[in-house]
Amino acid sequence: MLEIHGVSKSFAGVHALESIEFTVSEGQLVSMIGPNGSGKTTLFNCISGFLRPDAGKIVFQGKQIGARAPFEIAQLGLSRTFQSVRLFAKLSALENLLVSMQQHQDDSILGRFFHTPAIRRHEATATARALELLERVKLTAHQAKPAGELSYGQRKLLSIAAALMPHPKLVLLDEPTSAVNPVAILAIRDLLREIHAEGQTILLVEHNMEFVMELSERVVVLDAGRKIAEGSPRQVREDKRVMEAYLGS
């Protein structure tokens, strides 16, 4: 589903990524780990169109996306979250999910202005999807509450739900458990386990090693912009290069 071929990216002469190579197959849950500054978020930004790689190819479902805009990549079926939660604080939890579907609506201005049957069908489908996801992340009781009034863990869950709204083929999750309390971490773990079991393809960046090792089928390890290891959780846990670079052993 996703192919990363020799992707490199530099900032003012500093190599953030150097010839990164790996793939993600349909239905897999793959995690990227590595110390701070290893290039994980930079790679996410290249994949999702927020940065353009200096070299290499990024292929999503057979289409090169390295030079495409973020909205074009999203319309192909790739969605993501960010390290810092990005929600509309004054909109309700339900409205935040509905907003995430706007780019998938009919682009006709007249269709929207006259509220055509097609638009009404889309809105009904989107509302049903939003209510389903709110139930899955245990926010049904808070659907009318402004997102800014939710706890940080609840906002993290809501941001994941927003990324899942358009039924993406691939979802990129950037540190979903960062700064989240243990109860919310368990809720996020259970949600990812459920959607993965249903066939959702996931690429995850995470610092919580227990979380990564429990959920992942395969782990890719970056250090100083280079891939230093790749394999099953057990293989990565026992790799000396990983222990030296990531665990400090």
Q: Which pLDDT tens digit goes with each residue over 215-235?
A: 999 999 999 999 999 999 999
Query: In the 8-state DSSP scheme, what is residue 197?
Result: H
Q: In this predicted model, which residue has the larger pLDDT, 91 or 37? A: 91
Q: What pLDDT score was predicted for residue 195?
A: 96
Report, at the CATH architecture level, how domain 1-77+168-249 is classified: 3-Layer(aba) Sandwich (3.40)
| Amino acid, res. 144 | A
Residue 120's pLDDT band (cuts 50, 70, 90): confident
Q: How far apart are CA 226 and CA 224, in angstroms?
A: 6
Q: In this predicted model, which residue has the larger pLDDT, 226 or 106? A: 226
Q: In this predicted model, which residue has the larger pLDDT, 120 or 11? A: 11
Q: How far apart are CA 16 and CA 68, in angstroms?
A: 20
Query: In the 8-state DSSP scheme, what is residue 232?
Result: -
Residue 114 has pLDDT above 60, yes or no: no
Retrieve residue 7's tokens.
Answer: 């992707």
Report the percent of the chain where pLDDT is more than 90: 79
Q: In this predicted model, which residue has the larger pLDDT, 69 or 36? A: 69
Q: How far apart are CA 80 and CA 196, in angstroms?
A: 15
Say what the pTM is.
Answer: 0.90
CA atoms within a 13 Å half-sphere pointing along the CA-CB vector of 26? 7
Average pLDDT of span 153-177: 96
Q: Is the dihedral of CA 49, 92, 83, 213 positive or negative?
A: negative
Domain ranges of the chain: 1-77+168-249, 90-162
Retrieve residue 248's tokens.
Answer: 């400090």
Q: In this predicted model, which residue has the larger pLDDT, 190 or 106? A: 190
Residue 92's pLDDT band (cuts 50, 70, 90): very high
Please provide the size of the chain in residues. Answer: 249
Average pLDDT of span 13-30: 96
Retrieve residue 226's tokens.
Answer: 């280079």
Q: What pLDDT score was predicted for residue 247?
A: 56
Residue 11's pLDDT band (cuts 50, 70, 90): very high
Asked if 203 and 172 count as a contact pair (C-beta separation under 8 A), the reply is yes
Q: How far apart are CA 49 and CA 71, in angstroms?
A: 8
Q: What is the mean pLDDT of the chain?
A: 91
Q: How far apart are CA 214 and CA 212, in angstroms?
A: 5
